[in-house]
């Protein structure tokens, strides 16, 4: 069974075991230089509309461990419960049951929402009954928001950095599952072409990082 977030009714092929997460704190992003304020000391007017650039907000403090309970992607209309998944004896990451296509799987042996490291969420793209929870995952744009709720009542908010489609035969395990010094999230599902015998040829992978907690 594929390790994709949007796994169809088909078996989309599996991924390898994610690398163990690094739980050290990460460096804060460098601040962008501020624009000169209008009306400098030389008395000459500045171009209209120029204002001092706001300093970037500091990265949020990582959250302590607490199991994921639901996943929300506002731009795609997704608000789904989460079930824990693990790597099986075949060294492939499990996915939610095919008869529950709206569930999202969270790799429970990796970081929980907002925790330092690379968290993994997976799900189905479609099943025999139609579209599943991540049917539109590939349409998610950079800058989009992903919210992961936790058992302790808190929510980890991730911002999408990029969306990639990788051929299963050349899947970059290290790029996708590699450890991170800050809280990050990968959301995976099936992609590419579908073959009745072998399933989908590719996987859609969303890369995101923590930008807020509440």
Note the pTM of the prediction, 2 decimals.
0.73
pLDDT for residue 16 = 39
- CB contact set of 49 (below 8 Å; sequence gap of 6+): none
Which band of pLDDT confidence, cut at 50, 70 and 90, is reported for residue 138? very high
pLDDT at 81 over 60: yes
Of 42 and 203, which is predicted with more confidence? 203
CB 123 within 8 A of CB 106: no
Q: For the domain bounded by 68-213, which CATH number is listed?
A: 2.40.260.10
In this structure, the dihedral spanned by the alpha carbons of residues 181, 213, 187 and 112, taken in order and rounded to 10 degrees, is: 70
What are φ and ψ of residue 3, in 5° steps?
-95, 20
Of the candidates 204, 172, 212, 145, the one whose C-alpha atom is nearest the C-alpha of residue 2 is: 204
Distance CA 208, CA 119 (A): 10
pLDDT at 23 over 60: no
**Which residue in the block uniquely carries the two structure tokens 């000459």?**
44
Who wins on pLDDT, 164 or 32? 164
Strands 199-213 and 183-195: antiparallel
Does 49 have pLDDT greater than 50?
no
Spatial distance between the Cα atoms of 13 and 11, rounded to a whole number of angstroms? 6
* Interatomic CA distance for residues 73 and 208, integer angstroms: 12
């Amino acid at each position: 069974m594929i390790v994709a977030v949007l796994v169809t009714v088909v078996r989309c092929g599996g991924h390898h075991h994610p690398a163990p997460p690094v739980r050290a704190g990460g460096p804060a992003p460098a601040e962008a230089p501020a624009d000169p304020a209008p009306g400098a000391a030389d008395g000459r007017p500045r171009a209209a509309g120029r204002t001092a650039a706001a300093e970037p907000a500091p990265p949020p403090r990582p959250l302590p461990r607490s199991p994921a309970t639901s996943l929300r992607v506002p731009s795609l209309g997704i608000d789904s419960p989460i079930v824990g998944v693990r790597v099986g004896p075949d060294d492939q990451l499990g996915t939610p049951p095919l008869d529950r296509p709206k569930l999202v799987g969270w790799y429970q042996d990796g970081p929980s929402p907002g925790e330092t490291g690379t968290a993994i969420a997976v799900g189905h793209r479609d099943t025999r009954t139609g579209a599943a929870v991540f049917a539109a995952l590939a349409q998610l744009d950079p800058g989009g928001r992903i919210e992961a709720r936790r058992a302790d009542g808190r929510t980890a908010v991730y911002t999408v950095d990029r969306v990639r489609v990788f051929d299963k035969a050349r899947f970059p395990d290290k790029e996708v599952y590699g450890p991170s010094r800050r809280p990050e999230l990968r959301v995976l599902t099936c992609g590419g072409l579908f073959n009745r015998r072998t399933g989908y040829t590719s996987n859609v992978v969303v890369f995101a990082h923590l930008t807020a907690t509440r």
